[in-house]
Structure 1
């Protein structure tokens, strides 16, 4: 069988305005490039988050590990909202068509397979390629949009189009069975579906060597997420930590991330008295190396999300030998089987249960084996394992 050429079409992907946006998609692409038999390329188009000299701007890189074409188009081409919405759709299509032609010239042929990451425009373009060029496509979905907390916001038109695109894909891949089932509940069903985990860089995320006196350190809790309190419920974590201070002198909560609710969360921490005594520290946006170091030194990672399709940080912490306290939501429970082996789970919004679970982990941190946590993360999420799973998926689709 010849080397297949696979074109990746992500909705989210690291770009000039945010090098961590969609980085989990980037890790999937890297794992596939390194550990499958496919030649890959990435074609990405998005609204610009700053001024552009022209309607579109292009970054076409053919010299990296794989061809990566990024296009940006104006957020308000005319300044008239009624005109700008359809015009942005046309600009998106123009960018994708230009990038597709450039890649076909680079390869000397059309791709053998298109891999869509996160719907919907990406999937519509892939569907068009299937109709016009007979190129099959597979879909990877990560989005919490399909989970019960958010699915009511999906418009009827989006539902109709998503149902049609998913049905016409060769395969629907989701990062968790929980997400697959949530999509099926909305009518987004494909006859062939598969669950493959997100990627964890197990070379970067690893336990730190045990040092003498480590058990004498004050307990440190870590939270890593986008600052979106409606979904991540960071304010709930802070309220619980405020109540735990009396029982655990020196307790610290370190919060890494960035997002729209940063000012509101800082104000909430201040109102709880968590900033004055240094109980809470907002670390801001951290590079992955710094996140790995934080996880390796934390007593536990705490996630109190109301919606998660997978939760990359939960498995990154596991790879570092760090136990997790998290919520039973979306795809999280399936990552914590058998129960109480890799951490403790509570119901979303149940602050007393979260307080009890954190207390239990702080009281007996050695109950969770760092080596066992590490082994499980490697089996599930190491780049080689994920890349080989995608290789099997591609071969199956192309055979059929």
Structure 2
């Protein structure tokens, strides 16, 4: 069996959870089957991996149009595959086109949904209508749709009711438990501007509306004075969200010490040391299909405080591996809390409760590591993905 995996992100050009998912899934699948990767960006040296730049004639076009141009070039090269598997709307149109051009089945994995990310219009302008069309078209036509959580499966069927529910199957995101391990390295933690002897709350994520960073920054004003807030946050979606976050960080720093903002991508050695030293990891997202960052934190032995939304409750076991923060959300696709002040207060209370009891936080972190080992190892996830492939090919 040869499967062509179609993706925008692939190492070393990875900026989000979907890219991490694809890289780890491909590595696990290649132990069993022939996998060709077709990705966006600069040429890759990895065997079996082919990269595609934006077509020269579309260099100045809207980003969504440029994406479709790259998709067409990818689709043209898929000949010979038994099945194509696309990830995110960026590559969905390539899979849709390849299915028709070469007569091969198309599987999509849903890492997020455009109807539930309306703020993307701020980034893409009219291109958001293009991305939404590409995703809907590919999903409704796909031979199988993989959801990364039960919560995501519900979202898919609600957003795209034309899809046969039997075609939507759940295969969780995973974590490489050999790479993501607790690393006791206080010197590295200090080099990042963090005191490993003081309690800390660590956030890792892109600066985008869905990650809920402004709510965290408001909640942090209520944390005990000795607690450090560590933000590993970069890659803003728009200048507007960057300006909002910058202003909130400046206000927080004017009120308290221990606000550390790391705006570069941390290599794994540094990030694992930081997560290991954390009293708690925080995921304040208002939209999160699953959240690989939560798995990374759990694998490093950190307790997780996360919003009770999307797939997060399937990862974080409330009261065992961390704490879930309740949220009531608007049903307009934005995920906006109906009562933002209540959400901020509840987030602050949960964080304070965890960081104020380091021994209990350590117990939760150890339980999180065990949960990651039991449910989210990549070999098991690759095996489940192969089941989906074989089921599609058997039809």
TM range (shorter): 0.7 to 0.9
Mapped partners of 1:209, 1:318: distance in 2:
15
- Provide the secondary structure at the position in 1 that maps to 2:305: strand
| SS of equivalent to 1:6 | strand
- 2:385 is matched with 390
* Aligned residue number for residue 12 of structure 1: 9
CA shift, 1:159, in A, is 5.7
CA distance in 1, matches of 2:129, 2:235: 29
- 8 Å contact kept, 1:173–1:195: yes
Instruction: Using the TM superposition, give the Cα deviation of residue 252 of structure 1 relative to its aligned residue in structure 2, in angstroms.
Output: 0.5
Conserved 8 A contact 2:184-2:277: no
Which residue, out of 18, 43, 61, partners 1:59? Answer: 43
Tell me whether 1:192 sits opposite 2:185 in the alignment.
no
1:132 aligns with 2:101: yes
Q: Choose the corresponding residue for 2:229, options 253, 271, 274.
A: 253
Give a deviation string over 1:42-100, Cα, whole Å, max 9, x none: 11236xxxxxxxxxxx6264xx3x41111112587475x6xx78974674255225543
Q: SS at 1:296's partner residue?
A: helix
User: Which aligned pairs between 1:154-233 and structure 2 lie closer than 5 A?
Assistant: 162-187=135-160, 189-190=163-164, 191-208=166-183, 217-228=197-208, 230-233=209-212
**Runs (5+) with no aligned partner, structure 2:** 187-195, 328-336
Asked if residue 27 in structure 1 is aligned to residue 24 in structure 2, the reply is yes
Structure 1 pair 255–341 and aligned structure 2 pair: CA distance change class (3 A): same
8 Å contact from structure 1 (residues 178, 330) kept in 2: yes
Q: Does 133-142 or 198-207 show the bigger shift?
A: 198-207
Secondary structure in structure 2 of the residue aligned to 1:59: coil
In the aligned structure 1, how far is the partner of 2:160 from the partner of 2:234?
34
> Is residue 21–residue 174 contact of structure 2 (8 Å, CA) maintained in 1?
yes
The separation in 2 between residues aligned to 1:156 and 1:243, in whole angstroms, is: 40
Match of 2:84 among 104, 114, 126: 114
Distance 1:93 1:371 in 2: 43
Corresponding residue pairs, total: 357
- How far does residue 271 in structure 1 lie from its aligned partner after superposition? 1.9
- Shift in alpha-carbon separation, 1:166–1:74, aligned structure 2, 3 A: closer
State the distance in 2 between where 1:90 and 1:156 align: 13
CA contact (8 A) 1:69 1:99 kept: no
CA distance in 2 between counterparts of 1:272 and 1:372 reads 32
Instruction: Give 1:376 shift.
Output: 0.7
Deviation at residue 114 of structure 1 after TM alignment: 0.7
Secondary structure of 1:329's partner? coil
Asked if the contact 1:45/1:95 (under 8 Å) is kept, the reply is no
For the structure 1 residues 389 and 183, does the alpha-carbon distance in structure 2 shift closer, same or farther, using more than 3 Å as the test? same
Cα contact 1:14–1:20 (8 A) shared by 2:
no
Match of residue 42 from structure 1: 37
Q: Partners in 2 of 1:395 and 1:171 — Cα distance?
A: 11
Q: Does 1:234 align with 2:213?
A: yes
Distance 2:55 2:364 in 1: 51
For 1:15-61, what per-residue CA distance to the aligned partner results, in whole angstroms no more than 9, with x for missing partners? 5xx44352332222222223xx2110111236xxxxxxxxxxx6264
Tell me the residue number matched to 2:49. Answer: 68
Aligned partner of 1:92 among 50, 66, 70: 70
2:189 aligned partner: none
**Distance in 2, Cα, partners of 1:319 & 1:151:** 31
Question: Partners in 1 of 2:280 and 2:197 — Cα distance?
Answer: 13
The answer to whether the Cα contact below 8 Å between 1:38 and 1:391 also exists between their aligned partners in 2 is no
Q: Any idea what SS the aligned residue of 1:286 has?
A: coil
Match of 1:364 among 340, 350, 357: 357
- Bigger mean CA deviation after superposition, 142-151 or 19-28: 142-151
